Structure 1
Amino acid sequence: MIKKAFRMKLYAGYEQEYTRRHQEIWPEMRQMLKEQGAQSYSIFFDAQTNDLYGYLEIEDEQRWDQVASTAINQKWWHYMADIMETNSDDSPRTIDLKHVFDL
């Protein structure tokens, strides 16, 4: 199992909208994530900084790397681009976090 974590930035005032969209995540998006080897995927919000922290466990790095090129993921990025910091292709701006400890 490979553990990954990253940070993203939500625009101020969009926490409820971000939460709503994820509570209603499209079934085909959920299916694609599982097909690409996501065993678990959690996102946490820091209200003081508007930072989002993603944590996931995947089976295979190469398989996971294919997520970005799927049509459903591209559609999701476009759907989320109005409420968070993104790159020119609508992918969220992410900063990978270094794994330093397990219990």
Structure 2
Amino acid sequence: MKRMAFKMHLNEGQKEEYKRRHNEIWPALKTLLKEAGISEYSIFFDEATHTLFAFQKVSGEGSSQDLGQTEVVKKWWKFMADIMETNPDNSPVTIPLEEVFYME
């Protein structure tokens, strides 16, 4: 099992909407993530910078960021594009983070 982390940027004033949408995550998207080997997925928010910090445990080589070719993920990206920084294809701008410490 590997651990992956990345950050994204949420538009100002969108924290509650972001939380609401994720609290109502689509069952098909949740199933897809689990089938892709993602067993844990947490997203944290830094109020001062509007930075989202995502952490996930993944079995296999991919991550949630590798599912962009699926229709459900494309629809989710479009659904989320109005409240966060995105690329031209509506995917969130993500910056991978390097793990520099881990304690078991």
Note whether the superposition's TM-score is higher than 0.5: yes
Q: How does 1:3-18 map to 2 (within 5 A)?
A: 3-18=3-18
2:46 matched to which residue of 1? 46
Q: How does 1:68-79 map to 2 (within 5 A)?
A: 68-79=68-79
Q: What's the TM-score once normalised by structure 1's chain length? A: 0.95
SS in 2 for 1:88: coil
Unaligned runs of 5+ in 1: none
1:83 matched to which residue of 2? 83
Kept after mapping to 2: 8 A contact 1:29/1:72: yes
After TM superposition, the structure 1 stretch with the greater mean CA deviation from structure 2, 19-28 or 66-75, is 66-75
Shift in Å, 1:66: 4.5
RMSD: 1.3
Q: How does 1:19-34 map to 2 (within 5 A)?
A: 19-34=19-34
SS in 2 for 1:69: coil
Aligned equivalents of 1:6, 1:94: Cα separation in 2: 6
SS in 2 for 1:68: coil
The number of residue pairs the alignment matches comes to: 103
In structure 2, relative to structure 1, the CA distance for the partners of 1:64 and 1:43 (3 Å cut) is closer
SS in 1 for 2:45: strand
Unaligned runs of 5+ in 2: none
Name the structure where helix makes up a greater proportion of residues: 1
SS in 2 for 1:49: coil
1:48-75 Cα distance to aligned partner (Å, 9 max, x none):
0000000001001147564111110110
